[in-house]
Amino acid sequence: MRKGNTPCRAEASGWTGGGLVAALAAALVCCLLGGAASADTGAPSPGEAQRVHAQIRAAVEAWDPSIAEEFDLPGPVSITLRLEGRVLSRTVVAEGGPEAVREALSVLMDRAESRLPFQKDATWPEPVRRIAGLMQIGVELGGPLVPLSLDQLADATLQVSPGLEGVAVRIGERVGAGMPSRMLEDGVEPALVLRSLVSELSGDPALGVVSPDDLRREHGVRFYRFGVTHIAETEPGSSPVFLFRGGEVVRSSELRGRDLVVFAEDLALHLMMRKPREDGGTDPLGGTLRPIQGVFESEQATPLQLALSALALERLASGERYDAAVRAGARDFVRRLALAGAAIGEEETEETAAAVWSGLRASSAMFDAMVADDEALEGFLRACDRVCDGALRRAEALGALVRPVTLWALAERARGDESLRPRVRRMLGRAWSETGPERSVSLLPWAGWAELALAEGRGEVEGEEALRRSRMMVWMHQLDAADTGQEAPDLAGGVVFTAGENPLPTWHTVRPVVFFASMLGDPRLTGREEASREASRVLASVRFLRQLSVRDAEAYAHRYRHRSIGGVRAALWDQRLHPEATAMTLIAVCDTLDSLSKLAAAGDDEGG
């Protein structure tokens, strides 16, 4: 990152939170605080890490730690054994040295033996050797310990790069270390790890809440951070890969036309394969998934999650460029999602979800035809229309604003009901005016899509100025290579929204970018002279969204890989998979492909 910058942790806010875009102008400055984490951390080189991993693999297959060679390692060593997607054994040796690998292996195997269903008899360790090839091995090799100067333990969150650096504590001759992969998996901040290490090493749980100054002065406690080289097998016995913040960095060269098609299909397949139960349960989607543990926070998706997923899958199912089997599966799944939404009932379908269903019905000929012969779905969708109508009437009577998603649904319905058009136009203008330039991005993507729906068949987009201004402001806060440098290339293309304590880009990047993908293909909003620049910016953010998605490398620690592959994580340091994150990303990728095709066609016409 730029000199003096270090990545720092941010908590993702909810989908409908109104304060997401507060103080855009100050956000990036707040994000880029702290001492720089050098790209050269002194951690072992890739070549040395490969040699260490090979020795560990050989020792595990022989189930004999003594056969591992000596390596004079500069910092902490961590080895993790996984079996059938679960951690079988994990150990951390906090100080390097020639015997660190053997010491870690010895502890690792002792712990694993206590959890394996084998008795130590005359045949030992043959039963273990027979299943050693089914074990996944992950190795983290730390660099030298670098002192941390902390006024309070919470400062560690600002000074330690999440997922890239570990933390350590020394009390006298005792040293303890927390590895970045474990922090990623458990979703904990460095400050909490430091507290736990202080309590563990001192044997006094109360010391975990004492100030760093008092700990240093009265107990001789010292705090450190360190970089790591992380190498792991994505499948048992496979060639190991190097991991950066728990995954592999997506290159811009991986986002050419066919790559984007595959990305969209992966997103769609994830939505269709994340059913929480295989025993005949009726919910087709499931709520937020915690992939490390392989559990859902709720086995029943919310009404909004169901609606957004249907909206996204309809977008893919309507496109000719995607695999025919994936499209057919998406069409079927959209109907299943609609049935699940209808089963929840009108009383529990709140305004936002009702608006998505209403807008989907009005905008999609495919969906309209799908539900036309189903009386139950027809009744549910009419109820959703009534929810939107009621919201508009209340807003007009009370002088209140209508939610942007409701304005989009009403704008889509205005194609067939001209009486709605002036009312929606009036409300949209008011929304742009009352929200103001600095917070206008909070209305996206829905207000933008509403503008396009109202402009269909007309010569201009009335909200063009507001939309262009919003796009300009967002791109001002998009991280590029100059921001991220070698220390955090995985953050490139992400957009910083909040002015919170530790803002960094999360899945919320997709919120405005999904509309900018639509905007890219509209010549009224993106002129020919702007197209190349705007396409590069949209694709940069799509690259970041691809970085958030789960591929083989990111799924190395996931309990059930088939459920998580293709899903979009909440953040690079937050493994949770929200259906709405994947759904909105799918729309963004589909619309990017559509817009790029329109630009290419326009170029061909000019060339002809």
Tens digits of residue pLDDT in 551-589 = 999 999 999 988 899 999 999 999 999 999 999 999 999
Nearest to 8 by CA among 162, 152, 149: 162
- Work out the average pLDDT over 12-16: 32
**Span between the terminal Cα atoms of the chain, in Å:** 45
Structure letter (DSSP) for residue 332:
H
Judged against a pLDDT cut of 90, whether residue 501 lies above it is answered with no
Judged against a pLDDT cut of 60, whether residue 188 lies above it is answered with yes
- Work out the average pLDDT over 392-408: 92
Q: How confident is the model at residue 75 (pLDDT cuts 50, 70, 90)?
A: very high
Judged against a pLDDT cut of 60, whether residue 373 lies above it is answered with yes
| pLDDT on residue 457 | 73
| pLDDT on residue 280 | 52
Judged against a pLDDT cut of 70, whether residue 5 lies above it is answered with no
Record the tokens describing residue 322, joined without a space. 């995607």
Comparing 16 with 55, the larger pLDDT belongs to 55
Nearest to 23 by CA among 494, 503, 464, 469: 503
| pLDDT on residue 120 | 83
The architecture CATH gives domain 252-607: Alpha/alpha barrel (1.50)
- Work out the average pLDDT over 375-383: 92
Judged against a pLDDT cut of 50, whether residue 163 lies above it is answered with yes
| pLDDT on residue 218 | 92
Judged against a pLDDT cut of 60, whether residue 65 lies above it is answered with yes
| pLDDT on residue 360 | 97
Q: Is residue 38 classed as helix, strand or coil in its secondary structure?
A: coil
Judged against a pLDDT cut of 80, whether residue 2 lies above it is answered with no
- Residues 508-531: pLDDT tens digits? 999 999 999 999 999 999 999 999
CA separation for the pair 569, 184 (Å, rounded)? 12
Amino acid at 247: G
Mean pLDDT of the chain: 89
Give the DSSP letter string of 450-477. Answer: HHHHHHTTSS--TTHHHHHHHHHHHHTT
- Residues 311-361: pLDDT tens digits? 999 999 999 999 999 999 999 999 999 999 999 865 666 899 999 999 999
- Residues 24-61: pLDDT tens digits? 333 333 333 333 333 578 999 999 999 999 999 999 99
| pLDDT on residue 153 | 87
| pLDDT on residue 456 | 85
Judged against a pLDDT cut of 70, whether residue 604 lies above it is answered with no
| pLDDT on residue 121 | 84
Judged against a pLDDT cut of 80, whether residue 20 lies above it is answered with no
Domain ranges within the chain, ordered by starting residue: 41-243, 252-607
